[in-house]
Amino acid sequence: SRLPFAMGLGSTRLYSSDISQLPQITDSDVLQPFKDLMAASWDELPDAVVHDAKNALAKASNDKQGQEALANVFRAAEAVEQFGGTLVSLRMELDDISGVSGE
């Protein structure tokens, strides 16, 4: 039996067609950090991207929808980064317990 989320070789991942489009961000000080976050690897967020995102969120802006979108992406990126770090730590612990680490 196959897991519902498992992908086999040569299979295609289907995406939902009812997902909303990206929001219209009118403030360039919000748009650039949004784009940078979307383009960055969330394994380890670059300090400059984190700094720019925090500044854009702290800024007084009329583009509340854009700031909300940036805040959502930023929270997601931070959560992924933290979760990935937790997984690495767990794997290292399991490797140490099972003696796989070579020590």
Q: Would you list the domain boundaries of the chain?
A: 28-98
The answer, as to whether pTM is greater than 0.85, is no
Tens digits of residue pLDDT in 85-97: 888 889 988 988 8
CA distance 97 to 51: 38
Query: Taking 60 as the threshold, does the pLDDT of residue 27 lie above it?
Result: yes
DSSP code per residue over 18-65: TPPPPP----HHHHHHHHHHHHS-TTS--HHHHHHHHHHHHS--S-HH
65 φ/ψ angles, rounded to the nearest 5 degrees: -65, -40
pLDDT score recorded for residue 35: 93
Tens digits of residue pLDDT in 62-86: 999 999 999 999 999 999 999 988 8
CB 52 within 8 Å of CB 35? no
CA 101 to chain centre: 29
CB atoms within 10 A of CB 11: 8
The three-state secondary structure class of 3 is coil
